């Protein structure tokens, strides 16, 4: 794959992992054309599978699925230091180091999201050299693998996007162990499950207006 296609693919994954908007719905029409530029079948096929699923959904269905998977999953959220460190104070230090890493490469980090948010990581990867992005992604490979596994268990269409990312990382020469597991999510109590369901329903109502 050409370097330009590689960086555009990181940017596409970043875009698709963000909260769905009307722009995402419109982008589905243009996605097929871009995929023709991706020669690697292991990268292209997961995108095609995702596209086939999403084009049959309404925007409301897409939003509901996104909230269900990413806003309420301890091990399926998109914050790459959370799996290993949770809310421990060490996570704050890790986030600070990551922010400084971005800044050292001339990348301005928004205050609206934490620097370990995967779409931000991948946006960064789309703007730097291969050497820099490989160095970053190698540090978080295990977390990306774990998130992919969790999304696969949940039968989420977003598993396809993470599978495309892992294939892209392998193409870049990053060693990926698909059998690695970092964290076991504890089952929710009945009371916790009830509270989570109430929060989920309220958040969906808020997002849909």
The pTM of the full predicted model, rounded to 2 decimals, is: 0.82
Q: Given the structure tokens 């269905």, which residue do they identify? A: 61
**Residues in CB range of 176: below 8 A, 6 or more apart:** 141, 145, 166, 169, 170
The pLDDT tens digits for 86-125 are: 555 677 888 889 999 999 999 988 778 889 999 999 999 9
Residue 128 C-alpha from the chain's centroid: 18
Beta bridge mates, 117? 79
If we measure between CA atoms, which residue out of 161, 196, 188, 200 comes closest to residue 67?
Answer: 200
The reply to whether 95 falls in a domain is: no
pLDDT tens digits along 132-185: 999 999 999 999 999 999 999 999 999 999 999 999 999 999 998 765 554 444
Residue 112 lies in a domain: no
Residue range of the domain that includes 162: 3-86+117-183
Instruction: Please identify which residue in the block is written with the tokens 């084009």.
Output: 55
Q: Residues 83, 146: contact at Cβ < 8 Å?
A: yes
> How many domains in the chain?
1
């Amino acid at each position: 794959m050409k370097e330009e296609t590689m960086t555009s693919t990181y940017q596409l994954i970043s875009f698709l992992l963000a909260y769905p908007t009307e722009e995402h719905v419109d982008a589905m029409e243009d996605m097929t054309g871009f995929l023709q530029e991706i020669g690697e079948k292991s990268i292209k096929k997961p995108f095609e599978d995702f596209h086939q699923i999403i084009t049959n959904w309404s925007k409301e269905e897409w939003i509901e699925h996104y909230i269900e998977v990413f806003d309420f999953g301890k091990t399926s959220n998109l914050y790459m230091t959370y799996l290993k460190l949770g809310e421990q104070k060490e996570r704050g230090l890790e986030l600070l180091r990551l922010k400084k890493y971005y800044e050292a490469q001339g990348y301005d980090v928004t205050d609206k999201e934490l620097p370990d948010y995967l779409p931000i990581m991948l946006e960064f990867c789309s703007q730097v050299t291969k050497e820099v992005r490989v160095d970053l992604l190698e540090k978080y490979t295990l977390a990306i693998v774990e998130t992919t596994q969790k999304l696969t268990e949940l039968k989420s269409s977003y598993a396809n996007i993470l599978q495309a990312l892992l294939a892209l990382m392998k193409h870049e020469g990053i060693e990926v162990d698909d059998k690695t597991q970092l964290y076991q999510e504890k089952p929710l109590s009945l009371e916790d499950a009830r509270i989570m369901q109430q929060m989920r329903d309220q958040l969906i109502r808020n997002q849909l207006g």
